Homo-oligomer: A and B are copies of this chain.
Amino acid sequence: MNKRQADTIAEQIEERIFDGSFAHGDRLDEVRLAEQFGVSRTPIREAIQRLALSGLVELIPRRGAFVRQPGPVELIEMFEVMAELEAVCGRLAARRISDAALTELAEANRKCQQAVAQKDADSYYLENEHFHRIIYEQSGNGFLAQEAAKLHKRLQPFRRLQLRFRGRMAQSMAEHESIVQALRSGEAERAANVLRDHVAVQGEKFHQLMANLKNTPG
């Protein structure tokens, strides 16, 4: 599939928003970006349109495009929704999951634990995402899986922060174990509840972190 310039540009701008190169409130100057990417304004505008739709950018008519990082309140809301989506995926997956997927899930979890033991943050994220993605897909509902993956991706950069909490990774691994067990034994409601809490605690930890950062000078 031959990509358009607008596609790659959108991804790159998105990347810069995620990694903080663009902060909240920054205006995306079309001509400036056009120069930077060595293209005309047209593909830049297309890229901005997409970012606007995905919510990373606010488009004010006749004024321009402004980077819109979600504030603490919206983030907590998003984590709450993520928790509920995962719970639904888990409830459905408990009834529908295949044996192959169950072993794949255990394998992903094993690699996850290994990454934790080696303090390899990057591969931890990779395997953790894989773990969750399996559950999304085993919900047997492609639309749900897609929506869950989309929100997961959007929250990914913020998830990273909660790593800082001592012992969180170990606890997280224990939760993964419970999840696998519940899915294996087909306990729909337990799978839902464990998954919901597993994600919700991330939101709470994040909340705490925000509060701490606010109270800590410098």
Contact = CB atoms under 8 A, between A and B. Distances in A.
A214 interface: no
A1 interface: yes
A158 B77 CA distance: 29
Contacts of A129: none
A61 B2 contact: yes
Given A49-B46, A53-B54, A84-B88, A61 B3 contact: yes
* A interface majority secondary structure: helix
A144 interface: yes
B46 A80 contact: no
Q: Which of A4, A50, A77 has the most CB of B within 10 A?
A: A77
A150 to B, nearest CB: 10
Q: Which interface class (under 10, 10 to 19, 20 to 34, 35 or more) fits A?
A: 20 to 34
A81 interface: yes
Interface in A113-144: 141-144
A78 interface: yes
Interface string A83-110: 0100010000000000000000000000
A19 interface: no
A147 interface: yes
Contacts of A142: 73-74, 77
A55 to B, nearest CB: 9
Nearest to A80: B141
A46 B147 CA distance: 24
Nearest to A83: B88
Nearest to A142: B77
Contact of A4 (B53, B61, B88, B147): B61
A166 interface: no
Contacts of A54: 53
Given A50-B53, A53-B54, A84-B88, A77 B1 contact: no
